[in-house]
Structure formats: C-alpha cells, structure tokens
Structure 1
Amino acid sequence: MTAVEPCPASPTLADVARAAGVSLATASRVLNRVPLVRAETRRQVESAIAALGYRRQRAARSAPPARTRSIALVVCEEGLRLFTDPYFARIVAGISREVTAAEVQLVLLTVPSTKDSQVPAMHYLGSGPVDGALFVSMHGRSPLNVGRIGVPVVVGGQPMHGNDINQVSYVDVDNHGGAVRAVRHLIDSGRSMIATVAGPRDMTAGFDRLAGYRRVMADAERSDHGLVYFGDFSQASGEHATVRLLERRPHVDAIFAASDLMAVGVLRALRRAGRRVPDDVAVIGFDDLPVGRHTDPPLTTVRQPTEELGARMVRELLGLMDDSSAPQCGVVLDTELVPRASA
C-alpha cells in the first residue's frame, strides 16, 4: 500500500476505504470485526486506520448505551425448516414464555449455512439493535463466529470442537446418555441386530447420540458399521435410510432413530416393507414430540426437555446481559426414556 497522507479534517470511513484500496463495505466489515475478510485485506484497512488517525464517530454519552430490551433468536436453518419441524415450535415456546415474563422483545433471524447469508446477519447483530442473541441448530462447520459479535450469546447445544467459538455459554441436553438408555433398552428386550439412523455429523446432537449408540454396541461386542445410516433429522431422511438399511441388513430387528421425525420415516419404510413393529423390528426415537404419541404403534422415545431448554437459554442470556463480568457457563439438562408400544 502506498504512503497515506493525513486528512486535513477528521478522516471518515470513506477516507479509510479509499486509502486502503477497498470498498466502503469491506472497510466497515473490518471495523466491525465481521468474519470472512481476507487477512491481507484486514491488514490494509487497519494500516490505513492507524495512518489516518481514524476514530469511529459516536454520539457523546455520559452513560453506557441504552438497553434496547430486545434479544435475537438466530435459527441456523432455512426458514422452511423452522416452520415445518415441530422441534423448533417447542423451543420457541419455551423462549417466548421467558421473554414475555421479562418484558423483552424477541427478534427472529433465520440464517442458512451459506456464507453470503450469514454476513449480513452477523453485521446486524453487532451493530446494536439487540442486547443479546440466542443461537439454535448450529452446524459444526458454520463460519458464524458468535464469540465476536459484541453482545452476550447463549447457544442451544454444546459447540462442536473446533467451531472457533471459545468460551461461549450454552444449554444442552444429555444426548449421549439418552442414546445409551435407548440402545440398552433394546438389548435388554432381546434384540440382537440393532441399527441406528443417526443425525447430522456436524451437529452436537447428532454426534453425541451416535456416540451413545456406538458405546453400548461396543460394550455388547455388536459393533457393525453396516448398521449405521445418517439422516438430517427429517422424516424423509429416516425413511430413505431405512430403505437402504433393509437392503443391506434385511434381518435387522431394532432401529434407534436419532429424532422422532426420522423415527416416523422409519415406521413408514418398515410398513411398506411388510415388517411389523415391534414384532419384527423395534423402533425408538428421540425428542418425545407429540407426533410420536399418535403413530401406529405409539413411539417409544427419549424425552428431551425442549421447552425448558429454550427457557433456560433465555434465563442464562438475561443473566449475562445484567452482569457482563459473569463467567460463561455450560448447562446440560437430563433426558429420560419413555416406553411405548414400538419397542
């Protein structure tokens, strides 16, 4: 970068952008610590800021910024998934209950996994319209850097290792322990070839539920990679995985599905294949969604306290907003097996 001449008047961000040879939008991203800016470009902008003596113009204030009494709920999925998956309805119900009691406004953002969609959302969160943010359904490889937004954050689900969000508060459920109880129930009931339709590998819930299944199968010396198929927590993926499973392991006599919606898909595929549940194949889901009480037969499942998870996230976030020096925390809520007729 060429030498920068000091501006005769107070330099503006436009002056910085011009001196650094970047667009005004790029200079703004660097100033607001938005991710996805190349390291070389960031250095150019920072050098121009230092050379020009640029200072962000803020309204004079003698007190901390006024609270907006608003928090954001960031759902890291496509909008259609938010309104079709009953899991989200339940977690939002718990969140809404708490924000209403606290007289706080809730702002909903849906942020798909594409980088272009995430940058505006992160810029919005860091620019001051909300006092804090809740993140749910985060994927491990997401470039969302929630630790640098500039407002308190609580994540639903323990962050995946290597997700570059250090020291962030989270509320999760005991996914591993719930899966262990489900698979042990199948073994104790005499099932010998137990498969799983696991959740996404880049989400904590999918990873931990699969780990619980594998632990019990290894302890029972029944590990078989051919009994593991993956879905995305949707009904269609559970159905598709079961069709493939029956082609590969036609004598399977039990299936642990990592979500109730996937379990519904499992039941549909088994019915089409002429397999009776639970006589031929036992099925267990995970969630305890209302749909599981009305399947044929009613679905044995692992209950997770979804509404309480949402409510607890809000309480933790309000605590961080009230005391910025409070330590980050990790909360794990219990799960329990709910026996019904499917297993």
Structure 2
Amino acid sequence: MSTEARHGPITIEEVAAAAGVSRSTVSRVVNGSTSVSPSALESVQRAIADLHYVPNRAARSLASRQTQAIALVVPEDTTRFFGDPFFAAIVSGINARLTRSDYVLNLFIASDDPGDKTTSYLRSGAVDGAIIVSHHTSDTFIDRIAAAVPVVYGGRPVRERERDYYVDVDNVSGGRDAVTHLIERGHRRIGTITGPLTMPAGVDRLEGFRQALAAAGLEEGPVEEGGFTADGGADAMRRMLERGPVPDGLFVASDLMARGALSVLAAAGLRVPEDVAIIGFDDSPVATSVTPQLTTMRQPSFQQGEVMASTLLDILAGGSPRHVTILDTELIVRDSV
C-alpha cells in the first residue's frame, strides 16, 4: 500500500520532519527560493522524492492568502515597450527564473494610471508582489503599489528609501568607461546624447560622462537629451549639429538613440568613425544591425531580470535577500570608434 493510501496526502510537515529541517525551509525550496543552504536543499529534495510529496498549490494559496502571481509593471507606453530590445531581455530573464517556481507573471504597461486602475487592481490582493522597471520621477503611482505589496525595482528608485530592494547596472561606471575609451582613442571634443533625465539611469550615465572628462582635464562637449528612443536620438543629433561645433566623439546613452543619431549623421554627410566616433549603451541587437556596427557598453539585462525575480521570490518566501544588487557593464568594441 502506498504512503498516500495509508496516511492520506503527504504534508509539508512530514517532509520537514523527514529532511530534518523547518517547515519554512521546505516552503522556501518548494517556492524556488535561493536562500537555502546546499545541504538543506539536498535533504528537502531527497525527502520530497522519497515521500512522493506533491505540493498542493491551491491549498497553499488559501492557507497563505497567496495568489502565486507576480506583476511586472512598466510605466511606459506600448510603443516604447515593444520597440526597445531592453525590455525583451528583462522579461526573458524574469520569465526564466519564474519557470523554476510556482509563480506566474502578469504584465502591466502603464505610462500613467488614470483613475488608479492598475494601482487599485494590484492593491486588491490580485498579486503577491511586483517588479517595477523603467520608472520616472513623475510616476508617483508606483509608491502606492509599493505600500501594498513587496516590490523589487529594476534600476535605482527615483525616490530611494533604505528599505527598498532594487537591481541595477553600474550606469555611472558604464558612462565613465565609454567616454574614457573615446579619450584613449584621441578624441577631445566629446558630447553626449542622454536618456531621460527624469530617470536615474539617464542621470547616472550623464554623471559618468562628466567624471571621465573631468579626470582627463577636458571641457564638457554638447549635451542633448534623447529619451531612450531612436526618434529621440535623431532629434537630439539634429539639435547638436545645428548648434555646433560638431563633436569628434559622442557617447549615446542607448543603442536605440545611437541608431537615430547615425541616420542623421549620414544624412549630413558625416562619416562614422572618421568624422564622429560613437559609443552606445546596452549591446542590444540594434548594435549589430546598424552600419557601422556599434561599439557599446553591454549591460546584462537578462541577468538583471533573473536577479530581480529571484530577489522577489526570496522576499515572498520569508528570506532576507540583498536590498541592492549592482551588476557590471562591459565595453564591447566594434566599428564605430
């Protein structure tokens, strides 16, 4: 006679007793948390296999009032979301981590929240937690979400608090390394096209640009805001050319904006890199789809998505993950410098 036939369904308490660990440790393993020691993980997995334990998702949800759902909130319009490869990489990383758990992902694209529709839904208990990516200074509605459910931010929050959890890339270092490379290649009149200065990523990459120039004793070249879109990059490049003089080196804070800038430079009869050397940021598929192919700063967007999801799962399982995780960028040299 099977164990289930003799005793009814195996409980999580029986698994914990067999593994010699606490009930909460078994719960963390079942929910895919990484805050479990290798030895405890092995013991729990062995007990689950020996006892033929099958987690009852519906019962767990009722007992804990959990929905087993996580929200990804992107305060952008649909054009930006579907047009920027950064978001595809982020979502892929989040999804890859969640497939190893019982949680499902709900996507909310909201450049604003008229009538508090999204906010009210997320505060109603419809999800257990949220990941918020690409937020701006004006996106105050996300504060009301963070007051209701655990939140992990993609990027440094615009109103950072000590208790916040976020996963970011080292944008200051990335901007600094990009401009340092231009300086090392002999460029002296260096400008930049920034991302939105309502976003920490835009501010931090500009700060890196300025730090590199200051360290080299160079004056700051032209600065134009481009908005992290190809059209924004093109418009910023036109303004820069109109105001003159033309820089001989240009740090563009995203590959999409660099694509827009390249098209304007070509139309003006300026060659890259002979007349203007360009470095982008992201190392997205855009970087290798343009001519010349972009030298760029690689940011690990897929990994960022995975780490954000892991952090939130740890929080929901009662763990104590790091509040701040900063990932490194890497210079990828191609043909535009």
With structure 2 as the length reference, what TM-score do the two structures score?
A: 0.78
Using the alignment, how far apart are the partners of 1:228 and 1:322 within structure 2?
45
User: Is 1:300 the equivalent of 2:299?
Assistant: no
Per-residue CA deviation, residues 63-120 of structure 1 (Å, 9 max, x unaligned), is 853321110000111122211211111111111111112131111111213x525x22
RMSD: 1.7
Contact kept, 8 Å, 1:145 with 1:165, in 2: the verdict is no
Of the candidates 157, 179, 185, which is equivalent to residue 183 of structure 1? 179
Contact kept, 8 Å, 1:147 with 1:166, in 2: the verdict is no
- Per the alignment, residue 121 of structure 1 pairs with 118
- Per the alignment, residue 340 of structure 1 pairs with 334
How has the CA–CA distance of structure 1 residues 260 and 148 changed in structure 2, closer, same or farther, with 3 Å as cutoff? closer
Runs of 5+ unmatched residues, structure 1: 1-62
- Per the alignment, residue 103 of structure 1 pairs with 102
Contact kept, 8 Å, 2:314 with 2:321, in 1: the verdict is no
- Per the alignment, residue 198 of structure 2 pairs with 202
Using the alignment, how far apart are the partners of 2:160 and 2:333 within structure 1?
39
Using the alignment, how far apart are the partners of 1:122 and 1:65 within structure 2?
22
Using the alignment, how far apart are the partners of 1:164 and 1:87 within structure 2?
23
- Per the alignment, residue 329 of structure 1 pairs with 323
Per-residue CA deviation, residues 213-233 of structure 1 (Å, 9 max, x unaligned), is 011112223233x61000110
Using the alignment, how far apart are the partners of 1:311 and 1:286 within structure 2?
20
Deviation at 1:243, TM superposition (A): 1.1
Runs of 5+ unmatched residues, structure 2: 1-61
How has the CA–CA distance of structure 1 residues 327 and 90 changed in structure 2, closer, same or farther, with 3 Å as cutoff? closer
Using the alignment, how far apart are the partners of 1:132 and 1:286 within structure 2?
30
Deviation at 1:290, TM superposition (A): 0.9
User: Is 1:314 the equivalent of 2:309?
Assistant: yes
Using the alignment, how far apart are the partners of 2:119 and 2:268 within structure 1?
47
Of the candidates 134, 139, 149, which is equivalent to residue 136 of structure 2? 139
Contact kept, 8 Å, 1:146 with 1:153, in 2: the verdict is no
Within-5 A mapping of 1:182-331: 182-224=178-220, 227-323=222-318, 326=320, 329-331=323-325
Q: Which runs of 4+ in 1 moved over 4 A?
A: none
Contact kept, 8 Å, 1:168 with 1:328, in 2: the verdict is no
How has the CA–CA distance of structure 1 residues 122 and 71 changed in structure 2, closer, same or farther, with 3 Å as cutoff? same
Using the alignment, how far apart are the partners of 2:161 and 2:175 within structure 1?
26
Query: What secondary structure does 1:124 align onto?
Result: helix
| Count of aligned pairs between the two proteins | 275
Query: What secondary structure does 1:139 align onto?
Result: coil
Contact kept, 8 Å, 1:214 with 1:223, in 2: the verdict is no
How has the CA–CA distance of structure 1 residues 164 and 87 changed in structure 2, closer, same or farther, with 3 Å as cutoff? closer
Using the alignment, how far apart are the partners of 1:275 and 1:306 within structure 2?
32
Identity of aligned residues (%): 44
Using the alignment, how far apart are the partners of 2:206 and 2:89 within structure 1?
23
Deviation at 1:165, TM superposition (A): 5.2
With structure 1 as the length reference, what TM-score do the two structures score?
A: 0.77
Using the alignment, how far apart are the partners of 1:272 and 1:222 within structure 2?
29
Partner letter of residue 76 of structure 1? Answer: P
Using the alignment, how far apart are the partners of 1:169 and 1:146 within structure 2?
16
